[in-house]
Amino acid sequence: MSGIAIGQAGGPTAVINLSVIGFLENLSSNRPVYSVMNGYEGLAHDYIVPLQGELIKRVHRSRDLPGACLGAGRFPMDEEKIEMSVRNLAKKNITTLVFIGGNGTMAALYHISEMARKLNIPLQVLGIPKTVDNDLAETDHAPGFASSAKYVAYATRDISYDLAAMSNFEQVRVIETMGRNAGWLALAAGYLKRQEQEGPHLIYVPEVSIKKDRFLEDVGNAVKEYGTATVVVSEGTVFEGQGQVQQAEVKGRSVLGGVSFQLKEMVNESLGYFTRVEMLGMNQRSSSLAVSAQDRQEAYEIGQMAADFINEGKTNVMVSIKRGPGNIYQYEYSAVPLHKVAHTGERLLPYEYLYETNNYYEWLSPLISTDYSQVNSIDVKNDFFSFGGIL
């Protein structure tokens, strides 16, 4: 019988392993199952192994662990590697390929599918979404994001209370979140804010560039009014007329990070407040303490659904979460064409969330707080945020 292969690609999340487990536990066929190790690198270089023995034990041990139990990572694909990938699968008589990943992963899957068609090699292809940035197109959200958003919300709330206690020693903290092009995570920083004097006082997202003068004025005003200023900035945010700040370039991919240090220097130089940078780092995509119950559930379900779609013979699609209308959280899974995901581009924060953050927090609430009833019972009030360059 022909085989099925599954892999994980890109940056991992705190719940990505549950999608592998949900998939495996819902496969109804007796077809042999393979693991593509270390993401697309393993696919191109034929590191494709039977999912059995020690490896399957590792998968099941990873149920509550972050990272990617099959290995993931980054690997730039080109036409040659895509053809190698397709031939590696054919060599092992693998006719179904499933990958868990984000935008780049879905685009690569689409090209693999096209290549197989061109080479006349039968290949069923299916994508399972994961993201922490929430920039994935054609789905309401994807597993991984909710836990990261919860992490950012709690970290910001907690750090701002800590700062308020230290106002005679330090006045400003600049918290840097992930988010290359989209500000979903950075904006989640305000989710737990309940009173005007609490942080975060300022949030900067990649969708809106920072005006330096306005930034300094806003920080100065916040310190005058509240004693401290908690500033949140997404790693991909730019100063007006400038490019993104990168800390390194690895294998052709720019590693962002450091805009917070530039903001810190500006505050130190112009306002003289002692300012500390808080890079939330890899904890925001991997913290097992911040995992949301709803996110866990959806990560598992979306894997199950992928197995159903495979059993039904669907191909060239990604599993997508569609949210129902109304105030009660309802959602269902559907299949969206991979080429649409690949061609739609990154999903940015919509205007109505940026300008009325309450709309965003209402959308966010069921994803991160179904296990926190005290959050649900409080009105989210945050219309006092100031966005750099907008208000």
Active-site residues, by number, are 133
Chain centroid to Cα 34, Å, comes to: 26
State both tokens at 175.
Answer: 């918290």
* Distances from the Cα of 96 to the Cα of 59, 105, 310, 369, angstroms: 20, 16, 8, 36
* 142 or 336: CB nearest a copy of itself: 142
Binding flag, residue 318, a copy of itself (CB under 8 A):
no
**377 - beta bridge partners?**
none
Which residues are within 8 A (CB) of 371 and not within 5 positions of it... i.e. 6 or more apart?
292, 293, 294
Binding flag, residue 155, a copy of itself (CB under 8 A):
yes
* 19 or 38: CB nearest a copy of itself: 38
Binding flag, residue 299, a copy of itself (CB under 8 A):
no
Applying CB under 8 A, the span of 28-36, 70-78, 302-310, 321-329 interacting with a copy of itself comes to 70-78
Which residues are within 8 A (CB) of 379 and not within 5 positions of it... i.e. 6 or more apart?
none
Least separation, in Å, of the C-beta of 144 and a copy of itself?
Answer: 12
**Contacts of a copy of itself in 156-185 (CB under 8 A):** 157-159, 161-170, 173
Q: How far apart are CA 369 and CA 330, in angstroms?
A: 15
Site string for a copy of itself, 248-277 (x = CB under 8 A): x-xx-x-x------------------x-xx
Instruction: Read off φ and ψ for residue 82, nearest 5 degrees.
Output: -65, -40
Residue from 133, 138, 235, 278 in contact with a copy of itself (CB under 8 A) = 278
Applying CB under 8 A, the span of 65-73, 232-240, 314-322, 346-354 interacting with a copy of itself comes to 65-73
Least separation, in Å, of the C-beta of 247 and a copy of itself?
Answer: 8
* 17 or 382: CB nearest a copy of itself: 17
Least separation, in Å, of the C-beta of 35 and a copy of itself?
Answer: 13
* 32 or 67: CB nearest a copy of itself: 67
Q: Where are the alpha helices (H) located in the chain, listed in sequence order?
A: 16-26, 40-44, 54-61, 79-91, 103-119, 145-165, 184-188, 212-226, 259-271, 283-286, 293-311, 338-344, 351-355, 357-368, 373-376
Q: How far apart are CA 179 and CA 238, in angstroms?
A: 12
* 74 or 314: CB nearest a copy of itself: 74
Where along the sequence are the contacts to a copy of itself (CB under 8 A)? 8, 11-12, 14, 38-39, 41, 65-68, 71-75, 151, 154-155, 157-159, 161-170, 173, 248, 250-251, 253, 255, 274, 276-283, 285-290
